[in-house]
A = this chain, B = another copy of it.
Amino acid sequence: MNSFSHKGNRKLSIAELERKSIEEFKDAEKLPLILVLDNVRSLHNVGSVFRNADAFAVQKIYLCGISATPPHREINKTALGATESVDWEYVKDTKSVVEKLKKEDYGVYALEQTHASILLSDFETEANKVALIFGHEVKGVQQEVIDLCDGAIEIPQLGTKHSFNVSVSAGIAMWELYKKMKL
């Protein structure tokens, strides 16, 4: 530790970050990961999930049920343009999306605390492609949607509150899958 050189720790400028343009992003290889928002109510959360999906080069976001869709000023306050880079589609019925993805050989998992949920740290799948479902801020993923999934994944929580913010749990779950699937 601390072999680290302070001299080298100058912050990178925006140009030095060398991020992709929207066109480059569209053409770039994606993580074999799809996100499904099952009635995510908050525009802030929808926008923040787009921003996470851009960072981890996710294939696509399905916006379902009451989840709002771009273009929307409030979504863009947190998406900051990621609604332009990340592919997305609105499908009213979440169950039909799960059924479609399963037919396409995605391993489909709800982020949810159930009687049989697997801890994110222990999560393994034989599927080459994964879809993660995130639910309503209060009600979570619909039980009938969970029942169609290959399983439920739970982020361990040691505190007093019942759950994470949706965009935070989405970020944590994407990070874990990104490490496993690394491009």
Q: Is the CB of B161 within 8 A of A80?
A: yes
**B-chain residues with CB within 8 Å of residue A157 when the two chains form the complex:** 19, 55-56
Cross-interface CB contact of A167 among B117, B149, B160, B165, cutoff 8 Å: B165
A96 at the A/B interface (Cβ < 8 Å)?
no
Known interface pairs A9-B117, A150-B2, A164-B51. Does A85 touch B159 (Cβ–Cβ under 8 Å)? Answer: yes
The copy count of this chain in the complex is 2
**B-chain residues with CB within 8 Å of residue A152 when the two chains form the complex:** 9
Chain B min CB distance to A79 (Å): 9
A88 at the A/B interface (Cβ < 8 Å)?
no
Nearest B residue to A17 via CB reads B162
Q: Is the CB of B116 within 8 A of A9?
A: yes
Nearest B residue to A52 via CB reads B168
User: In the bound complex, what is the Cα–Cα distance between A114 and B156 (angstroms)?
Assistant: 31
Number of interface residues, chain A, beta carbon within 8 A: 80
Task: Provide a sorted-by-A list of 27 A–B residue pairs whose CB atoms are within 8 angstroms.
Answer: A2-B150, A4-B150, A8-B116, A9-B146, A10-B114, A11-B114, A11-B141, A11-B143, A14-B162, A19-B160, A20-B158, A20-B160, A24-B160, A25-B159, A44-B44, A51-B168, A52-B164, A54-B159, A55-B155, A85-B160, A155-B175, A156-B178, A158-B183, A165-B171, A168-B170, A169-B171, A171-B171
* Residues on A facing B (Cβ under 8 Å): 1-2, 4-6, 8-12, 14, 17, 19-22, 24-25, 28, 31, 44, 48, 51-57, 78, 80-82, 84-86, 107, 112-118, 120-121, 124-127, 140-141, 143, 146-147, 149-152, 155-162, 164-165, 167-172, 175-176, 178-179, 183
